[in-house]
Structure 1
Amino acid sequence: MLSRTTLPRQLVCRLPHRSPSNRPLSSTSNRHASPYDQTIPNLKIGKTTRVIYQGFTGRVSTTNAQQSLEYGTNIVGGTTPGKEGEHLGLPLLPSVRKAAEQLKPDATAVFVAAQHAAGAIEDAIEAEIPLIVSIAEFIPLHDILRISSILKTQSKSRLVGANSPGIIAPLGTCRIGFQPLTCYLPGHVGIIAKSGTLSYETVGALTRAGIGQSLCIGMGGDIVAGTNMVEALQLFENDDDTHVILLAGEVGGRAEQDAAEWIKDYWKRVSNPKPVVAAVGGVHAVPGRIMGHAGAFVNLGEDPSEVKIKALESAGVITVDHPTKFVDAIQRVYKQAGKDVSTLKWNGQSRRSYHTSSRRIRGPSNMIQKRGLHIENGQAKKLLSDKGIPVSETEKKEADQRFLAITVDRSERRPAIIASPTTASGKVFARAKSFPYDYNNGPDQATVKAVLEQLHMDAAPPAAMATTGKLLQTLVQIFKEKEAYALSTHISGTQDGSVVVEKASFSFDDSAFKSGKRQGDIFALRDKSKEDADEVEAEQDGIVYVKLADPTANIGTLINGAGLAMNANDALVAYGAKPTNFLDTGGKATSATVEKAFELILRDQRVKVIFVNIFGGLTLCDMIADGIMLAFKNLNMKIPVVVRLRGTNEEKGQKMISESGLPLHAFDSFEDAAKKCIELAG
């Protein structure tokens, strides 16, 4: 059976407890510097950064460009294939190469639909544009893997994204992305965040406290990111305008643990290091579920959020459970150091200038949907059998099996083979090694030999070695041709000295199908009748809805943004609340979307109160308020609703709620709202 919402068991096994500083898998890669590392300084944007737009004449791109121009961004033109002339009073050119030649851009904003985004990014790389910012969600994973393999070989272009809100320099009044501009204040705090809405919540809290920001980088929520946390840290270390660094992470990948390792080294070699504060969402994420963002899940050999938090804390990083607490953490750090926190607000004495530097860094879519289709044992083994791989009808004891898988090494930004000589519970990944390989060329002979050695098969009979080699080659082929993100197998020896597959579980990227219109044969296997009907229905309205299992839970949640939703649920639990669901309305929620979300939540008989927590970026707070009142009218709602609206049009939305005459409880403070939810839930 193929399920769209539940990951295979191998993806969700919890690793044995270990020191947070240790890697979950030993790797054959030593993470040598690549030419791409030379592009880190390209992230330092500012007032004179020359920006172009790809997809310049599109409706969304046009509106965004107008806002960014008003903010002060130095937009010098843009491109639309087949068009030439003017747009918004600026040059419009038919190709990126022509724009690069005539406009001499330092950065490009890629406002191109997901199915065409990879081609647009590649055009920008070929034109050697220093900074490429890709905002589109649902770009097929293998398109990004191909782009990543190109980026590693060059030293001119740096990518931010994809699935990113972009990058903004409040200190330099330069925005390349779609951040809500009213939230930002010039100052001296640098931010790197996986989640857009979580970064807005962070910035909003800082700005209210008079603490300004120097540079905010959206890492993005996809499996593979063009710029990661370590690269942002390297930039911030050498940025004189950044005095404090904030990290906003979430479940999935090793970015936060890689950051912790870098920070440990940074604080050893620097006499006066910059303070680092972090928040990591997804502590209470549902194991085996993709929590809104494409990359928000625990993949093969990865650790859950609580292990990431321990890693950061062991490195000396202060961690908080909600972005509104970043302010208190910064104030404590500055008080202990005898510093004045008011110095983090811009004093008008310095401005960012030209964004590209030749010096080296010192020191080490359209609709929200869950991603990932999962083929369980029977169908996965049939795929292998059809390619001539021996599979068993029955399964042997785990003690007689070995583990062989292919997945994505997010830190390396390329595929990796994972091999373990055992499948025994709790020992699979403790004894596993990861072997990253080139996406385009596949694993070389030395890598295959090392994998066989790791499986303890280097001295096996020739038939066993040959069959294992063929299986590995087949997995590599399926991974690339069918656009998978995790293929795992359990294998064992046979009496005739060969090898057979005992168990298999395959996961595929559904953006290849949804955005790229590829892999129809795989996705035709989806059986929606085996999935939760409410969650399938939510998907049709652009809502990511995941029911939580606790029978005593009683607080329904309605939140915009995957990272913010995960973090809000974590914080609610920390206050003693029990959420019944994870629900992300998406960054472009409308009043109709909100009404549909209420309808889904109200079907759950456990719900005694609903908590609405919205940070308006693209979503407008007054539109959300209208949706809440519409829901009360159309759904004949009887239970109380606690509402917290922040961001774009927040005052208008809050006024609509307070004057509605409905049983709505409006709050500005997250803590006060959470406590009210608990009180109302009884």
Structure 2
Amino acid sequence: MSNLSSLPARARRLPLGQASITRIARFSSSPRSCNYADTLPNLKIGAHTKVLFQGFTGRQATANVKESLAWGTKIVGGVKPGIEGEHLGLPVFPSVRAAQEKAKPDASAIYVPGNQTAQAIEEAIEAEIPLVVAVAEHVPIHDILRIHSMLQTQSKTRLVGANCPGIISAIGKCRIGFQPLPCFAPGNIGIVAKSGTLSYETVASTTRAGLGQSLCISMGGDVLAGTNFVDALKIFENDPDTEGMIIVGELGGTSEMDAAEWIKDYHRRTANPKPIMALVGGLYAPEGRIMGHAGAWTAVGEPGPEVKYQALERAGAVMVNHPEKFGEGMKTLLANRPRSQGGVFTNPASQRRGLHTMRRISPRSRQGMFPTTQTRSLFVKPFQALDMLKEKSIPVRETAPSDSDIFLNLTVDRTALTPCILASSRADFSPSTTGRFAFPYASKSFTSGEAPVIEDIASHLRLPDSARGKLASLVQGLWEIFKEKEAYILEVRATPTADGTLEVRGARFGFDDAAYRSSGRQEEVHRLRNPAEEVREELEAEKDGIVYVKLDGEGSIGTLVNGAGLAMNTVDALTLHGGHCANFLDTGGKATSETVKSSFRVITSDPRVKAIFVNIFGGLTRCDMIAEGVILAFRDLEMSVPVVVRLRGTNEEAGQKMIAESGLPLHAFDGFEEAARKVITLAGGEPITPQR
């Protein structure tokens, strides 16, 4: 994960200024035939790619430029608004437009904080930079909705991110992002991932197997991604350097389902398909929680992670439960890949045999209209949501549910990359009763005759003509709250009355905390938060920038992991091996001795914890530094709980040696299987072998 959101920056008070509205209108009214899909080829970076940096002279960008130049990336300079000069021996341009005219960059790496990211992307779109890579996290959802409304009406600029480590060509030595370079080796495997740390584990696994990588694309962990799994798979399919493909997914959204459909079609139309492997993180994530990444939550109408897993498996992808299995697994698949003999190939489905490592999991259904409270977002109390509706002159009267109720959910369509309304006659929004109605982010009024979406919703819900005007008023009120207060989910239960009125009888409103965290917006909404009603350990962790989720049940193993995707997968894999995890904990992409110490303090405050599993991939941080932090924290806190430390990545041998020679009850491993068995045993459990 990027830490750019912590950099100081001016906070813009409004998510959509007049200048941005003008830009959207200009893009939307363009007479050209524009298709964002036409920008797919821009992802094929390599030795030829000329890279520009926005936020060029900042500390993180400077360090990144030095590393990337030494590796071989062709960097042509950077932008510092209003300033011309030189930095690191490269030109500094006063604007992206000036850089485009003088240096003709093929790509721009955006190294600015989350609250400035959207503006930087806008400048790159206006300058028609072919590829834009945004690495910052905590980019407000409504800022990105606005960006996508621009991207979808042009055919010059492709976006990767936001909240991602970027894109990298191991063959072409072109790095646009902050990926840990020691993990990479030129090779033939294409990798696309939501999670940064899981992608690094995947890269390291394919490097150890002697396969290396061709192109690695990060989709990012946000709700709205500029490039998705299918986009990447299309590039890999037609890339002569890529012989195998790997997908690293997680809970939230439908991109894995889209990938499964693409894989099925690919196998139908291809005589000798390239082998595909996949992993889905968050299989054992608690329902209704956001697991570190902004987009790691399952919304109404979206499939759960286990459904995604099964869809990918049925489509023909080889599934694994841990990324360290990708290397040897792909090596086997490539060795067994059928070769042409007179134009006849063996059945591609045969690639699946012998590599299953995941138990079948029964899908969970969404229980009721209002699931448990999520974190890293703000859900207000029902009465506060109803008060917001009253301010919009929406009729409100709290009553018990009735058979005549209708249910509306205004949220974000992650596939269409627009707002959408889900309309259903059932509280669980079951697929058979739910309609999905996407509409442009630039929409202004639903009460005028220019809102066909209202007619569609009314027809789906079978509302009488007399109720359609009231439906329009209700949707208009929800839409105004959605934009003015930067919500990401507004769910209401309403009852049609005899006179055509729609009374709201219940509401659940969730707001994007990134608008407050990175931009200082929506302070009045944020003040509605009541810490006294939240989990104490989660609040303590939040003070130190740690994402901690306390898990229910008999959890006896505390987990400490760097990276949300890796943390989800750690809980999954330990559970599959017979362990019982007490928590999810993400220190962030750059674990330090201080965050390790704070993490231990929070974990050990849970009396259920009998052993701790530290799972660190030393990509952006060195394993020896993490080992030193673990040892110091263990001593300073006078811990008595045994700790198993799995270290992989940069300086892993030195880190493991430090742990082994510490004289403390610390146990060092590099392989996950051994480490998992050890920590489960120390916690009083009995390890099992995951079913094939």
TM-score by length of 2: 0.87
2: CA distance, partners of 1:421 / 1:604: 42
Structure 1 match to 2:92: 92
Q: Are 1:253 and 1:302, in contact at CA under 8 Å, matched by a contact in 2?
A: yes
Matches within 5 A, 1:448-487: 448-457=454-463, 459-460=464-465, 462=466, 464-487=467-490
Structure 2 match to 1:243: 243
Q: Does 1:133 align with 2:137?
A: no
Matches within 5 A, 1:310-389: 310-337=310-337, 371-389=376-394
1:393 to 1:441, Cα distance in 2 relative to 1, 3 A = closer
Structure 2 match to 1:396: 401
1: CA distance, partners of 2:680 / 2:577: 9
CA-CA distance at 1:317 after TM superposition = 1.4
Describe the SS at the equivalent of 1:187.
Answer: strand
2: CA distance, partners of 1:270 / 1:386: 57
1: CA distance, partners of 2:375 / 2:518: 13
Structure 2 match to 1:440: 442
Q: Which amino acid aligns with 1:409?
A: D
Matches within 5 A, 1:593-672: 593-672=595-674
RCO comparison, higher one (Cα < 8 Å, 6+): 1
Q: Are 1:47 and 1:172, in contact at CA under 8 Å, matched by a contact in 2?
A: yes
CA-CA distance at 1:394 after TM superposition = 1.8
CA-CA distance at 1:288 after TM superposition = 1.0
Describe the SS at the equivalent of 2:225.
Answer: coil
2: CA distance, partners of 1:609 / 1:34: 56
Matches within 5 A, 1:512-551: 512-550=515-553
2: CA distance, partners of 1:193 / 1:393: 44
Q: Deviations over 1:283-312 (max 9, x none)?
A: 001111110000000112111100001111
Instruction: Give the percent of matched residue pairs that are identical in Structure 1 and Structure 2.
Output: 56
1:282 to 1:323, Cα distance in 2 relative to 1, 3 A = same
Q: How many residues align?
A: 615
**Could you tell me which of 415, 419, 424 is aligned with 1:420?**
424
2: CA distance, partners of 1:644 / 1:574: 17
Q: Which amino acid aligns with 1:611?
A: F
2: CA distance, partners of 1:370 / 1:377: 17
Q: Which amino acid aligns with 1:592?
A: E
Structure 1 stretches of 4+ with a deviation exceeding 6 A read none
Describe the SS at the equivalent of 1:546.
Answer: strand
1: CA distance, partners of 2:398 / 2:548: 37
1: CA distance, partners of 2:262 / 2:544: 41
Unaligned 5+ residue runs, structure 1?
A: 1-32, 341-368
Matches within 5 A, 1:23-422: 35-337=35-337, 371-397=376-402, 399-422=403-426
2: CA distance, partners of 1:228 / 1:674: 32
Q: Are 1:403 and 1:428, in contact at CA under 8 Å, matched by a contact in 2?
A: no
CA-CA distance at 1:422 after TM superposition = 2.9
Q: Are 2:322 and 2:569, in contact at CA under 8 Å, matched by a contact in 1?
A: yes
Q: Are 1:421 and 1:454, in contact at CA under 8 Å, matched by a contact in 2?
A: no
Describe the SS at the equivalent of 1:249.
Answer: strand
CA-CA distance at 1:333 after TM superposition = 2.0
Describe the SS at the equivalent of 1:600.
Answer: helix
2: CA distance, partners of 1:572 / 1:211: 27
CA-CA distance at 1:396 after TM superposition = 3.3
2: CA distance, partners of 1:583 / 1:417: 33
Q: Are 2:53 and 2:109, in contact at CA under 8 Å, matched by a contact in 1?
A: yes
2: CA distance, partners of 1:277 / 1:474: 45
Describe the SS at the equivalent of 2:171.
Answer: helix
1: CA distance, partners of 2:279 / 2:153: 33
Unaligned 5+ residue runs, structure 2?
A: 1-32, 341-373, 685-692
Q: Are 1:284 and 1:569, in contact at CA under 8 Å, matched by a contact in 2?
A: yes
Q: Are 2:455 and 2:468, in contact at CA under 8 Å, matched by a contact in 1?
A: no
Q: Are 1:421 and 1:456, in contact at CA under 8 Å, matched by a contact in 2?
A: no
CA-CA distance at 1:175 after TM superposition = 0.4
Q: Deviations over 1:546-592 (max 9, x none)?
A: 11111x22111100000000011101111111111000000122100
TM-score by length of 1: 0.88
Q: Deviations over 1:596-623 (max 9, x none)?
A: 0000000111111110000112222222
Structure 2 match to 1:6: none
CA-CA distance at 1:34 after TM superposition = 6.1
CA-CA distance at 1:649 after TM superposition = 2.7
Q: Deviations over 1:486-539 (max 9, x none)?
A: 111111122444221111101110111111111111111011111011101100
1:76 to 1:243, Cα distance in 2 relative to 1, 3 A = same
Q: Are 2:211 and 2:331, in contact at CA under 8 Å, matched by a contact in 1?
A: no
Structure 1 match to 2:17: none
